Structure 1
Amino acid sequence: MKTPRKRTFEVEDGGFIALVILISLAFAYLLAPYFGAVLWGVVAAIMFQPQTARLAEKLGGRRNLAASLVLLCLVALFVVPTILLGINLVNEASTLYGKLTTGQLDIGKVVHDLQEALPLSVRRFIAQYGLTDIERVRAEFGSSITTGLQAVAGRLLSVGQGALSFIAALGVTLYLSFFLLRDGDRYGLLVRESLPLNPETRNSLVAHFLLVVRATMRGTVVVAVVQGALGGVLFSALGIEGALIWGVLMGFFSLLPAVGSGIIWVPVAIYLFAAGEMGKAAILVFCGVFIIGMVDNVLRPILVGRDTRMPDFVVLIATLSGLELFGLNGFIVGPVIAALFIAVWNQQRDRKLALLEQEAADMAKSREETAAHPS
């Protein structure tokens, strides 16, 4: 009689697990249209829930007021500046595109001037390998720049055209952030207790996940904002056209290790040298190496810390893949998945080593007992 009951229990248990997986996948599919909004709401809660809890204590336990005040600060510090930056970026991209189409800014002339400024030996090298069709290069390069700016302007303007979707997504983010900031501890405990893992592994992975998210946000967003702001101010001071666009691009490329913001300012410095603007070029190189470049070398280790440092090649591949799969949200999702992948396999290695050590200890104890009580 016991065997059928055990078999029935196993079937029901398996059916419940399948139901849990099915319902979870259906819920994830339901949230897919607002994946970015939910992601940023969760990230905001992870970053600022500890501050909200401390503020609530100072306010006598009024968690609603504390969460509201923190949310208002987030809107003032991040949401409003981002919207204003987007508006200015649209205006500058449109202005630059207009100058290109009307001929006020001739990319072909820039390429021609750069060619004329090259040393004779370099020009001979270009001619030797058949790279002399400068007119075609000028046309293609100018067309590429124009098409790129047109696409950027069109993409940015589409945000305004899809204002209703943007407002809905922003509303979801802020609404979710409020409840997670207010009750984050309770929801975190529910999630932690529901994970089908042993307590030690579960707590370690959850703690590592929170650490990685906070470190990723500090080490990417802060560095990107600082490098982008410094680059934009520097380009503006040097009188380079489209300083805001270049600053935003430098902030974006700072997300990539190894290359970083240098992918923007190095070619500009080369052009300034070739165009005879030695003073501007020297200032750009000096500031690029010793100010913009040092921001990454100094700030990132401080903000990220040693516990979450990953090899640069892992960060690069994870960031690029994340951006490819998830868009702008990928610069968070990619590194977090990579860090959790490493953490899970480190857990597996530690468990295996602990098991081997336990087996070795048991064998040593068995030998000692055999030696103490020989048959």
Structure 2
Amino acid sequence: MERAEDKFFVALVVIVTVALGLIMRPFFGAVLWAIVAALLFEPLMARMARKMGGRRRLAATLTLLLILLAVVVPALLLGLAMVREVVAIYGRIESGKIDISRIFEQVQAALPHWATGLLERYGLSDMDALRHQLTTGIAGSFQTLASRAFDISQSAFGFILALGVMLYLSFFLLRDGQALAVRLEESIPLRPSLRRPLLEKIATVIRATIKGSLVVAILQGVIGGIVFWILGVGGALLWGIAMGFFSLVPAIGTGLIWVPVAIYLLISGAIWKGIILIICGLFVIGMVDNVVRPILVGRDTQMPDYVVFISTLGGIDLFGFNGFVVGPVIAALFMAIWDIFSKERKRRDAGEELEPADMKSG
């Protein structure tokens, strides 16, 4: 009878947990980023609390204000600037100041014979149809972005609500984070020798992933935008933000932006500008990713670059923007759990080997 009651209780725990997850699903992003903010700023908040005589509530309030001023407000201003840039570029496309068809004709005329033959080999010899598809696709993309910019007021309430939930939850996670971590550790049905390494691994991976990804994104976006502005490329702010966003995807990242622009500059006759952009892309923008990301991400997570790369892409595919945190965290959990399992199995096997020997000697 007791075993039946235990099974019912376990089933009840699972059902209630799943129900709570479904209720919180609309605010998954807000909860995730609240946890991320608390993990990133908890060391700073702890230092402030010690200097204030242990007043964690005041320290959490000041830390939350710092998050607002240093992270939220700049991100909002940057988003508004990007919206204006997208709308302006779409207006120039509509007015004909940016003629995508003419740009394609210039690229087509400058293609060498081997490139033309390669296109024909892959069935892309119908340049008129290809030009029409490319022109329609680019114009449609900017039209979609512009329409989203105009419709942003309709989703403003949902965004403000999610932002409010994130900040509200961040405050309590900062103030009560240590006590919550202890309760969480005690609630996990694992031995203490397994619980703490697992939780420490999760916290380390989240901190390292966010620090590495955001630092790399900011550096590459700023450098790329400045290079584009110096070279006189239109929409430098938009392309800088785009490079910062694509840098979240390891390995390929910013090349999706600056490589096509460099090719266009070379083909259109701006040889020196194209060469300068290629040099900056390879040895400045690219080196930021190759040097900074392994230091901030790979060193702390102890995950190979290819695991970070694949888990990031898979996470973004499943969870959208939130996936660049969720993907590496799940991958790190997988590696940590199997590492703990392997060590426990070796320890158990070693104990089983020693037991017969001890019995024989006794």
State the TM-score, normalizing by the size of structure 1. 0.92
Instruction: Give the counterpart letter for 1:252 in structure 2.
Output: F
Alignment partner of 1:96 out of 66, 77, 89: 89
Instruction: Give the counterpart letter for 1:220 in structure 2.
Output: S
Question: Could you say which residue in structure 2 is the equivalent of 1:5?
Answer: none
Alignment of 1:61-76 (within 5 A): 61-76=54-69
Contact persistence 2:29–2:322 (CA under 8 A): yes
Contact persistence 2:220–2:244 (CA under 8 A): yes
Alignment partner of 1:285 out of 274, 278, 281: 278
Alignment of 1:1-375 (within 5 A): 8-126=1-119, 131-367=124-360, 369=361
What do the CA deviations read for 1:224-254 (whole angstroms, capped 9, x no partner)?
Answer: 1211111112112211122222112211221
What do the CA deviations read for 1:187-227 (whole angstroms, capped 9, x no partner)?
Answer: 11111111111101111100101001101101111111211
Contact persistence 2:35–2:170 (CA under 8 A): yes
Contact persistence 1:159–1:166 (CA under 8 A): no
Instruction: Give the counterpart letter for 1:146 in structure 2.
Output: A
Contact persistence 2:209–2:328 (CA under 8 A): yes
What do the CA deviations read for 1:69-123 (whole angstroms, capped 9, x no partner)?
Answer: 1111111111111111111111111111111122110111111111212224433
Instruction: Give the counterpart letter for 1:208 in structure 2.
Output: K
Q: Residue 315 of structure 1: CA displacement? A: 2.3
- Closer, same or farther: CA 20–233 of 1 in aligned 2, 3 Å: same
- Distance in 2 of aligned mates of 1:13 and 1:156: 54
Q: Residue 155 of structure 1: CA displacement? A: 2.6
Structure 1 counterpart SS, 2:146: helix
Contact persistence 2:31–2:169 (CA under 8 A): yes
Q: Which runs of 5+ in 2 are unaligned?
A: none
- Distance in 2 of aligned mates of 1:127 and 1:21: 58
Instruction: Give the counterpart letter for 1:119 in structure 2.
Output: P
Instruction: Give the counterpart letter for 2:185 in structure 1.
Output: R
Which of 1 and 2 has greater Rg?
A: 1
Contact persistence 1:228–1:248 (CA under 8 A): yes
Q: Residue 259 of structure 1: CA displacement? A: 1.0
- Closer, same or farther: CA 128–289 of 1 in aligned 2, 3 Å: closer
Instruction: Give the counterpart letter for 2:75 in structure 1.
Output: T
Structure 2 counterpart SS, 1:306: helix
State the TM-score, normalizing by the size of structure 2. 0.95
- Distance in 1 of aligned mates of 2:123 and 2:11: 64
Q: Residue 124 of structure 1: CA displacement? A: 5.0
Q: Residue 305 of structure 1: CA displacement? A: 4.4
Q: Residue 125 of structure 1: CA displacement? A: 4.9
Q: Residue 314 of structure 1: CA displacement? A: 2.6
Instruction: Give the counterpart letter for 1:282 in structure 2.
Output: I
- Distance in 1 of aligned mates of 2:297 and 2:123: 48
What do the CA deviations read for 1:337-357 (whole angstroms, capped 9, x no partner)?
Answer: 111011111111111111122
CA RMSD for the aligned pairs? 1.7
Q: Which runs of 5+ in 1 are unaligned?
A: 1-7, 371-375
- Distance in 1 of aligned mates of 2:192 and 2:128: 68
Contact persistence 2:298–2:304 (CA under 8 A): no
